[in-house]
Amino acid sequence: MENKQSSNIRWHHATVTRSRRQLLNGHSSVVLWFTGLSGSGKSSMAHAVEERLYQMNCRTFVLDGDNVRHGLCGDLGFSEADRSENIRRIGETAKLFVEAGIIVLTAFISPFRGDRQRVRSLMPHGEFVEIYVRCPLEICEGRDVKGLYKRARAGLIKDFTGISSPYEEPEVAELTVDTHLLDIDQSVDAVIRLLRNRGIIANQDDC
């Protein structure tokens, strides 16, 4: 989809800056980008991490693949071009949340490295944290809570990642979580540990 640049516009600088918002919140803002096959556990992890962060008084928001397609990206299909545009919109939205001082968690298959890299390039270094939710295809397919793999195998869904469309694994993800080996609490612990090690949240239970 063509990306047209608006004309006759200018950037307005706010007096309430991102640094002031972060100071008020008590933590840094960042994008936690959960990527992986359908059924790998991206949404479950993102929401569980958000719940943990909420309990720590952090300011958060989850952008979930299915939810976003009910509104912001409701006009897009699942062709390669539409998927790229979907991720572009999410990236720009996530950038706004980061500017607002919020920890934004995104749960999208986002199968193409180039699309993920473009979102990474929108953020200053260190503010895009790619989390690869890794799970073997056969296990994801065995879960198939939405019945999508079955429909894809039957030829009822075109361009389905892992079946008729590729998934390009991250090469430099900040964190890889093997959800077929770890339970949800262990997976969340790994993410929280990463955030603490990177200084995004404090090393105690309160942000």
Say whether 110 is catalytic: yes
pLDDT band at 206 (very low <50, low <70, confident <90, very high): low
pTM, two decimal places:
0.86
Higher pLDDT, 90 or 145: 90
Q: Exactly one of 28, 29, 38, 110 is catalytic; name it.
A: 110
Single out the residue of 132, 145, 139 nearest to residue 162, CA to CA.
139
- CATH dotted code for 18-197: 3.40.50.300
Q: Write the Ramachandran bin of 147: left for phi over 0, alpha for psi from -120 to 50, otherwise beta.
A: left
| pLDDT at 45 exceeding the cut of 70 | yes
Single out the residue of 194, 173, 41, 50 nearest to residue 109, CA to CA.
41
Give the strands of the sheet with 60-64, arranged side by side.
60-64, 103-107, 30-35, 128-134, 175-178
| pLDDT at 53 exceeding the cut of 90 | yes
Tokens 């007096």: give the residue.
15
| pLDDT at 11 exceeding the cut of 60 | no
pLDDT at position 25 is 77
pLDDT at position 40 is 96
pLDDT band at 20 (very low <50, low <70, confident <90, very high): confident
167 contacts 37 by C-beta, under 8 angstroms: yes
Mean pLDDT of the 187-204 span: 92
| pLDDT at 61 exceeding the cut of 90 | yes
Domain locations along the chain:
18-197
> Using CA atoms, how far apart are residues 112 and 117, in angstroms rounded to an integer?
9
pLDDT tens-digit readout, 95-129: 999 988 999 999 999 999 999 999 999 999 999 99
Query: Residue 104: is it exposed, middle or buried by C-beta count within 10 angstroms (0-12/13-18/19+)?
Result: buried
Q: Whole-number mean pLDDT of the chain?
A: 87
Mean pLDDT of the 11-29 span: 74
- Percent pLDDT > 90 in the chain is 65
